[in-house]
Amino acid sequence: MPYTPNARRPKRGTYRPRPEIASLVVTSGNVINGVGETAVRQASPFFWHPPTLHPYGDLQTIARTNSRKCPGTGPVFQQAYTYPPLQAPSATKLEGSPEALSAQVKQWALSAGVDAVGIARMDPLFVFQGYTIDDPWVIVIVLAHNYDDLQEVPSDETNGVGVTEIGTQYARGTRISYALANWIRSQGYHAKPYPGPSADALLLIPPAIAAGLGELGKHGSLITPQFGSGVRLAAVTTDMPLSADRPVRFGADSFCTSCQICTNSCPPAAIAPEKQMVRGQERWYVDFDKCIPYFAEAASCGICFAVCPWTRPDVRPKLLQKMAACEPPAATADADPAETPTPLDRQPPPPDTERHA
Ligand code: B12
Ligand code: SF4
Ligand code: SF4
């Protein structure tokens, strides 16, 4: 399945936002996101939250309108935003060890059609500032994209295949996250779905990493060993006593240090080639102020995660094999998850001068 360039993709750095779009980025998203901040803190509500919580309400409307103009998108996004009712929790609790209950939850999710599932202990850093989540556990579900359809991004009024595939997986995330929450409720526990198309209270990538579902890539998205970057995420939080999975390392982070494919494919050149300090953690970062105008104009773009070589079914097995030969085992591989420090236990890094000395 060789990668064939898509004629709707402008070359890197050639995109210039239309003035009416550029004028809407009045506050820098990079400042809101805490780029350059050395203290660890929660993420601020930012985009796909209610417009009263951030300054990009008009851009959200433009992004949504442009994606809905593409053929095929109406019904799938309608499904993605149609939330079924949630049942009251049953009076009788399903009993079992955390390991046995976790196995049942995962088995239920897989039989309901998710492509992968993992469990993480809730951490305040998974929650956006100003929101509260009381459940101690988060179950993250992975919905894999159809590779061929994903290659059609970005979409426009002549071709909606890529963004329709995005809406299709969002709809799957909504359906299964609600069904899983209702199943957990029927077993006597609290459960709340986070279906994914809107931001809501929960960041999805950090718990997915903690739950052992993949690594953060240079393009700011999760890379999974089974499906590469071409996945949607959704989640369910619960008070059912579960056991945490462990983070995995299969070489994605290392591979990103030498690969430039997403950086070179991004029309507004938003993907930084080096890691940056963001809210007290050194990591890959995407320049929001550059990404968002193109994202809004190009029906949700998505070029970066479509072109990632880990997403290619013909390349992924070779990359896994190649990186397995050089990747050290995960730092937490032998640790008891109960003893593994949560991100809030981590100390803020030393000041810049010492770090770069
Ligand atoms: C707001 C948002 C956006 C915004 C801003 C994204 C950004 N990078 O700033 C816009 C509209 C631009 C956007 C674009 C896209 N998004 Co988006 N987005 C979200 C959303 C709703 C919230 C994320 C957020 O608030 N980011 C702002 C701050 C927190 O960003 P940040 O500090 O740079 O942190 C990012 C990562 O580093 C990671 N992260 C946060 N804290 C920490 C801490 C550590 C230690 C680590 C390692 C990572 C990490 O999460 C953030 C992801 O944006 C999430 C769903 C969710 N609830 O989490 C989906 C989500 C991240 N988006 C997703 C995708 C796929 C996309 C697009 C490819 C669009 C598309 N067509 O699908 C592009 C990719 C842009 C890019 N290169 O990042 C997927 C990612 C799936 C995956 N494989 O990982 C998500 C999870 C939606 C979903 N339900 O699947 N998105
Ligand atoms: S989604 Fe944003 S970061 Fe990714 S290719 Fe498009 S403009 Fe670049
Ligand atoms: S395209 Fe290359 S650099 Fe970008 S996320 Fe994928 S592997 Fe990493």
293 CB near ligand 1 (under 6 Å):
no
Q: Tell me, what's the pLDDT at 347?
A: 31
Q: Tell me, what's the pLDDT at 49?
A: 96
Q: Which of 175, 167, 171 has the alpha carbon at shortest distance from 109? A: 175
29 CB near ligand 3 (under 6 Å):
no
DSSP, res 343: G
Q: Tell me, what's the pLDDT at 338?
A: 42
The atom of ligand 3 lying closest to the CA of 271 is: 4
Q: Which of 225, 228, 75, 236 has the alpha carbon at shortest distance from 151? A: 228
Instruction: Give phi and psi for 118, each to the nearest 5.
Output: -145, 165
Q: How far does the centroid of ligand 3 lie from the alpha carbon of residue 73, in Å?
A: 28
Q: Tell me, what's the pLDDT at 350?
A: 32
327 and 249 Cβ atoms separated by less than 8 Å: yes
* Smallest CA separation from ligand 2 atom 2, residue: 291
Q: Tell me, what's the pLDDT at 7?
A: 86
Q: Tell me, what's the pLDDT at 342?
A: 37
Q: Which of 355, 351, 352, 347 has the alpha carbon at shortest distance from 40? A: 347
- What tokens appear for 306 in the block? 């479509």
Q: Tell me, what's the pLDDT at 167?
A: 98
217 CB near ligand 3 (under 6 Å):
yes
Q: Tell me, what's the pLDDT at 69?
A: 96
Q: Is 65 exposed, middle or buried (0-12, 13-18, 19+ CB in 10 A)?
A: exposed
- What tokens appear for 31 in the block? 């400042």
Q: Which of 292, 303, 305, 308, when mutated, tests ligand 2's pocket best, judged by the most ligand atoms within 8 Å of its CB?
A: 303
- Ligand with the closest atom to the CA of 319: 3
DSSP, res 156: B
- What tokens appear for 71 in the block? 């053929």
**Tens digit of pLDDT at every position of the chain (357 positions):** 555 568 899 999 889 999 999 999 989 999 999 999 999 999 999 899 999 999 999 999 999 999 999 999 999 999 999 999 999 999 999 999 999 999 999 999 999 999 999 999 999 999 999 999 999 999 999 999 999 999 999 999 999 999 999 999 999 999 999 999 999 999 999 999 999 989 999 999 999 999 999 999 999 999 999 999 999 999 999 999 999 999 999 999 999 999 999 999 999 999 999 999 999 999 999 999 999 999 999 999 999 999 999 999 999 999 999 999 986 655 444 444 444 433 333 333 333 322 222
DSSP lists the bridge partners of residue 207 as none
The atom of ligand 1 lying closest to the CA of 45 is: 25
Q: How far does the centroid of ligand 2 lie from the alpha carbon of residue 269, in Å?
A: 8
Q: Tell me, what's the pLDDT at 64?
A: 96
- Pairwise CA distance, residues 198 & 194, whole Å: 9
The set of residues, in sequence order, having a beta carbon less than 8 Å from that of 219 and lying 6+ positions away, is 229, 262, 266, 271, 284, 286, 304, 305, 308
Q: Tell me, what's the pLDDT at 328?
A: 64
Q: Is 280 exposed, middle or buried (0-12, 13-18, 19+ CB in 10 A)?
A: middle
Q: How far does the centroid of ligand 1 lie from the alpha carbon of residue 128, in Å?
A: 13
- Pairwise CA distance, residues 285 & 283, whole Å: 6
H or E element, residue 234: strand 231-238
* Smallest CA separation from ligand 3 atom 7, residue: 256
The atom of ligand 1 lying closest to the CA of 196 is: 89
Q: How far does the centroid of ligand 1 lie from the alpha carbon of residue 183, in Å?
A: 28
Q: Tell me, what's the pLDDT at 326?
A: 84
Q: Tell me, what's the pLDDT at 13?
A: 86
Q: How far does the centroid of ligand 3 lie from the alpha carbon of residue 216, in Å?
A: 10
62 CB near ligand 1 (under 6 Å):
no
Q: What count of Cα atoms within 13 Å lies in the side-chain half-sphere of residue 347?
A: 3
Alpha-carbon distances, residue 26 vs 51, 143, 291 (angstroms): 14, 34, 14
* Smallest CA separation from ligand 3 atom 2, residue: 259
